[in-house]
Each structure stands twice: as structure tokens, then as C-alpha cells.
Structure 1
Amino acid sequence: MVQDVALGESHSTVLTTDGEVLTTGAANYGRLGNGETSEDTLYFDSVEILPGETVVQIAGGESFTLALTKEGVIYGWGRNHKGQLGTGFGMSVDMYAMEQIPTPMDGDELINRTVTKIAAGTNHGACVTSNGELFCWGSSLHLEPVRVTEVLHTKIVDVECGLDYTMALSEDHELFVWGAGKTGVLGQGPDTKTLHQAQMIKSLLKKDNTIVSMSAGSNLASCMVLEV
């Protein structure tokens, strides 16, 4: 039975209730996670994670995919030309960089931390830990996870990635956003096209409103508000 679906530009990923990951679509950049880079598929085929690992979440970027295991380990495969897989390894990446099979993300910042939520944008990724810490990587800025310092004193419970922006929801129901967006996705008014640091959307701070969930699309962002 299907538990979750993640879509990329030219590939699709499915997670079953048994923790099995399946992909279909274009094979270039290794985005199918099966070792192929030239043979596209029309049918879903299983992706081999490490034996004994159970995947609980998936997230799809433009040409890459992230998967989170029950143990809180992130795996990634596909294109890595902007560091979107977060594998780092102290190396630079170029237009040909890719991982053809699932590769664990083992950056220093995630050591001794358990990831509970993952998200993927066009060429970047993000995750939340069990302690409410928020990390981001990719977009040619960071090759491995780096903590978002603007929310150090706030416990984050959810994260979503859009085209070139990121949204994060705090335990106190505050919504933070940063990145680039010409269509108003940053929620800061028509004159704000770019935010280099996480910033709260203050227009949503009404005493009778409680933000309970959010969603980030390519050029459209939304949130669900509980009126009390």
C-alpha cells in the first residue's frame, strides 16, 4: 500500500507502508537510485537502501530524491551539482556531480542527532531533528547540512521547501521563511523578492489564529490556520 509520493521534474518516487522505495521516470543524473543514468523506465522499480533499513519519509527535488529511515538517517541520490544531496565530504561539486545509488548523509552537524522530517526544493534540502533544530544544504551555498542560526532559540517542528525558498513552522506556531521568490511566496509584501535570513511572517501573528500546518509549492505557499 502506498504511504507517500514524491515528485521531481522528470521522475516519481513512491514509499510503501512496508518501507519500500520505488522510482520511475528519467534516469539521467542517477535520479532513479538504481545505478542507471541512461535507461529511463515506465514502471516503478525498487530502490535498494541498506539491508535492514526502513524508510519512513521521502522528498523529491528537481533531479534528486531524499529518503529518511526509521533510525533518523538521510539517504540521497540523483544530481548533486549544487550540493543538494548534502554529502559534502569536503569536496566541491560540478555540473556532472551525482550519486547513482542511495548515499547516506553523514555531515558533522548531524552526528548524534536524530532527523524527524526532511524536505526538498529544486536544488536544496532541509531537515528537522528530534530536538527541534533546523538544517539546510544545497543551492551552491552549503555542500552539507548547516544549522539555521536565525531560529536557534526556537523549536522547529516542520519544514517545507519550495522552488528557491524554505518555510519552517515552530512549536509556538510561528511561520518563518527565507530564500527567493518573485510571486509573493515569502509573505513579506510585494517589494520583498529575496530573504537571506529566516524571517517570521508577522502578518500571520494574530491572537485568534494558530498556524497548524503549511505547504510550499514552486511559486505558491499556503498554511492552515485554526481560529480559536
Structure 2
Amino acid sequence: MSLDFVDKWPICSVLDPETLATIKKICVFGSSGNEAIYITKNDDVYAMGSNCSSCLGLGDAHSSFEPRKIEPLCKKQIKSLAYGSGPHVVACIANGDMYSWGHNGYCQLGNGNSNQGMAPNLITTNLQSKKIVQVACGSHHSLGLTEEGEIFAWGQNNCGQIGSGTTTNQPTPRKVTAIIGTRKATSVACGQTSSMALMDNGEVYGWGYNGNGQLGLGSNVNQPNPCKVQALSNVIVTQIVCGYAHTLALTDEGWLFSWGANSYGQLGTGNKANLVSPNRINSEERFVEIAASHYSHISAGLTQTGKVFMWGQCRGQSITSPMLSRFSTTDDIFATFACPQVTWRLYSVDEVPGRDIITDISKSFDDASTSDVKFVAEGREICVHKSILKIRCDHFRSMFQAHWDEDKKDVIEVNYPYTVYKAFLSFLYTDMVNLCPEEAIGLLELANSYCETSLKKECEQIIKQGITVENAAMLYAAAIKFDARELEEFCFRFALNHLTAVTQTEAFSQLDESILKGFIMKAAQAGAFKY
């Protein structure tokens, strides 16, 4: 995220460049986007804005555009932060502790009473020895997800959004067990008065208010207990987000589903009719991220090719089908087109000091007028600079030494595909990779050979986003070959989730015997062949 992006949030425009440069993570919230909490690179936590209901956690009710420290949270490494409509705020930190503050008229702070919380208060009831890894907030209720995949809920429960089987408000965290039982959740999300959970097997459950069909159950009946979204049984969901009264789900194959309220076109279906069951949004693009906020009726999605689409209520206009933007992140959409302009997640700032220098270096890649060495791959030249390559890569640092022949050459031939080697050299100039998943496999091999760990991770991410039933077995074998453990596990899980289809592909039939044996044994241990 550049400093220009931070300036798009109106409340951040009052910060000076020096302060902006220190920001590592930021959350903008409030009914008008008038409150902000940010974390600096030194892990200090600051708040600024109107301080409605003491939601800034500063110990008082004073409003100020001058940033002030939230002392109890400094140096605590906040991992997840969510806000409600009161507003109230809930945050969890690196050690698994959870804090809350702000509006508490419905016991949404989880501290056993309904008194307003002026400063961060540690939530402990029913959470002994539990580590919270994610938090989510609806209008006046809260959810916490533990390291073990358990869901705890508390606060307003007039529509059953706590999942307790009743409509009685819950003053302290209560474990959600009905229907879900011992199943493990991987993430939770909240609409205004509804709750959703994504399980580790890709199933989705919803409970609470369902007047607009936002639970995806095929009806408009409220649910005080979790109910499985049966219409998604044939897909594996990897991300779930909630808008004010609509829901989006992303599958491991890049398919996007939507359901619920659609008065502004937030379902992306091309019309404004509500849907009580999940509907796949038609798109030639493969989505890799979706975004929504219970504060608004806007939706956004990022595709595998880096395109960002938006739909729904965008600055007062109703966009009923995904519209391509010129932004590079879904966060840009919420900074510019959402109403109010709030962040849909705790956003991590990736600003790098000296970006003008980085821009100039990036532009010098493949510039024949300034280069001092050329690489030739498949008969095509790539113009680069020895000094930059030596600074950025140990392989070239060794290559360009006086006792090596390459140091004296102006042209060096390499036995790699042109697109792959150019992408590798470009990465050394830009820290970015622009390849399709199939080509990224070749780059992964090169990165593995040259011991370029960061490039290897970039390749793995690209490959993950391009996995399909047809290529899963091939990618699994490639991950093993190039010692990409995280990618190997990802491909295995994908193949396990689509086992019947994957085993019928040509790629699976071509697996090396040892890899095939290993896969079968691992699948057996995971319970794939149990009756």
C-alpha cells in the first residue's frame, strides 16, 4: 500500500507524511468512517477520530484528529481486529488473548455487563487456556475463533445470531456447539444480525437473521442454531465474507457465489432480486479474494490475473454486475466507493521507504541503453545490470567474480524458457512475478535451483491460485520435486477434497509410482477411504 492509498481514506488525510510512513496496519470504521486505529512499524497502537461510544479505547470520550496511543495494546502484536455498529471493537493479539472496548448496550464486549468500555478490557470468561486467532463483529454481537477451530459468540441475540438456540442476549463468550458439534472452523464472518462460519472441510454454516436469505438456506426463516448451507455441498469453500445483509463465498476453484439482499445489486447477478440460496456469479475470471463489510452494501473481488471488480452500492449508484476497476486491491474499492468509507479488514500496509528509487530500478529492467550484460534464452535477449543482479541474488554474486568466465562476457546463454528466465530477472528488479500458473512451475524449479526462497513463495502463491481438478496431480508432483512443502500440502488437500474427479484425470494417471504410493498412503491416513 502506498502513501497515496492511505490518503484516500478521508480521516487519514489529516496525518502528516512522517506519521503515514510509520503505519503498518490500519482499520477505519464508524458510521461515517470517522474513527481510525492504526499500528506502527514499532508495534505501537494509535487511535484518532470522533470517539463515538469511546470506541477508540483511549480511556475517555474525547474526540481528536491528533493520534493518541492505546497504551494497553502497544507491543502486543494485534493479529485480528473487528468493529460493530455501536461502534464496539474487538481485537486478538499474538498470544491468543482477546480485548474489547466501546459500545456495550447489548453486552457485545463479552465482559458480563452492559457498561460502556472506555479502554481495552481482557475477555476471560469461558476462555481459559483458549487462544483466539480471529474475531468478527456484527452490528451488536461478536464472534471469536480459537486456535482449535472452536467458535465463541456473545452480545445481542434478538435474531439468534449467537447460535445458542434462544434469542436471549449473551453477556459473555459462549461456545457454539449445536449442529456444528466438534467440527473445526477456519474462519468466521458477521452480517449486521447474522453469523457465518467456514469449516476446515469447506462446508459453510449460518445462523441468526435470515429475512433477506443471507444465510443461504433456501428460506427467509431466522435460525437460532447453526444450519449447513446445503447448496454449497458440492464445492469446497475457502473464503466467506458478509455484507450488511448479503453473503459471498469463494471456492478453491475460484468460483464466486452470492446470496441474500440485493437491493443495490450487491449479489452481482445483473438484477436486484434477493436470493435465498447461493448463486454462482458468471465470470470468465478466476477469483482469488472476495470482500464485503457489514457496514455497507458493496462487494468486491480480486482475480487471479490481478483485476479488481466491484458491484453493489458504489457511491450511491447501483452496479448489478461485477464492474472492472483500475485498482490493484479490494481495499482500494472500500477506500473510494464504499459508503461509509471503512476498511473491510485490518489492512496491512506494505509501503516501502524509497519507493522512487525502486520505481527507477524497476524501469531499468531490460533497458539496452543502460545494461552491461545480456542473457539469451531461446534466442531472445534480456538486458540487465551485473551490479543489480549481484546485490539481489547470491547465484549472480558468485557468477560475476573475476575468476569466472561469465564475468568477462557481455552475452550469456541460458538453458531456460525465455518467459521463465525473464520473469526471474524481472523479479530481481521489481519483487513481482507476472506469470500464469503453468509457467510459474518452471520458475519454481529455477527458484529452487538458485535457492531464492522469496521467489519460491511467490511462485507457490501463483500456482495455488491456478489449481484445478485437471492439474492438481501434476502440481502436487511438482511441489514434491522442488521441495515446496507448503504447496505440496495445499495440492494434497485440494486433491483430497476432489478425490474422485482428480483420480480420473490424465495427470493423476501419469504420476510417478513412488509419488502415487505416497499420495495413497497419505490419503488413507486422512480418512479418504473410510466407509
TM-score by length of 1: 0.91
- Structure with larger RCO (C-alpha < 8 A, sep 6+): 1
User: What letter matches 2:246 in structure 1?
Assistant: Y
Partners of 1:84 and 1:170 lie apart in 2 by 24
Deviating 4+ runs (over 2 angstroms): none
2:185 counterpart residue number? 115
Question: 2:274 matched to 1:198?
Answer: no
1:47 aligns with 2:128: no
1:26 maps to which of 97, 100, 103: 103
Aligned to 2:209: 139
Residues 98-118 of structure 1: per-residue CA shift (max 9 Å, x gap): 00000110112x123111111
Question: Residue 89 of structure 2 aligns to a residue in which SS?
Answer: strand
Equivalent in 68, 86, 90 of residue 163 of structure 2: 86
Query: 1:15 aligned to 2:92?
Result: yes
Query: What does residue 188 of structure 1 align with?
Result: 269
Summarize deviations over 1:91-135 as a string: whole Å, max 9, x none: 4x2xxx200000110112x12311111111100011111111111
Runs of at least 5 residues in structure 2 that lack an aligned partner in the other structure: 1-76, 211-221, 306-435, 437-531
Distance (Å, rounded) in 2 between the aligned partners of 1:73 and 1:113: 8
> Is the strand fraction higher in 1 or 2?
1
- CA drift at 1:144: 1.0
The one-letter amino acid of 2:159's match is K
Query: What are the Cα deviations for residues 37-62 of structure 1, in whole angstroms up to 9, with x where unaligned?
Result: 1x212211111142111111110100
Aligned CA RMSD, in angstroms, stands at 1.2
Amino acid of the structure 2 residue aligned with 1:105 = V
SS in structure 1 at match of 2:286: strand
Partner SS for 1:44: strand
CA distance in 2, matches of 1:103, 1:112: 15
Q: State the partner residue of 1:212.
A: 288
Matches within 5 A, 1:129-168: 129-139=199-209, 141-168=222-249
Question: What amino acid sits opposite 2:183 in the alignment?
Answer: R
Secondary structure class of the residue paired with 2:106: helix
Q: Partners in 2 of 1:135 and 1:59 — Cα distance?
A: 15
2:176 to 76, 87, 105: 105
Aligned-partner SS, 2:289: strand
Larger Rg: 2
Aligned equivalents of 1:27 and 1:132: distance in 2? 33
Report the secondary structure of 1:30's partner residue: coil
Q: Structure 1: how far apart are the matches of 2:104 and 2:233? A: 39
> What is the letter of the counterpart of residue 230 of structure 2?
T
Counterpart Cα distance in 1 of 2:97 and 2:237: 28
Quick one: distance in 1 between partners of 2:108 and 2:203? 28
Is 1:63 paired with 2:63? no
Supply the AA of the counterpart residue of 1:122.
Q
- The whole-number CA distance in structure 2 between the counterparts of 1:47 and 1:193 is 41
Percent identity over paired residues: 27
- 1:193 is displaced (CA, Å) by 3.1
**Structure 1: segments with no counterpart, 5+ residues:** none
Aligned equivalents of 1:102, 1:177: Cα separation in 2: 29
**Amino acid of the structure 1 residue aligned with 2:92:** L
Matched residues in 2 for 1:46 and 1:193: separation?
43
Per-residue Cα deviation, 1:51-97 (whole angstroms, up to 9, x for no partner): 11111111010000000111111001100000111111xx4x2xxx2
When the two structures are superposed, what TM-score results if normalisation uses the length of structure 2?
0.40
Match of 1:179 in 2: 260
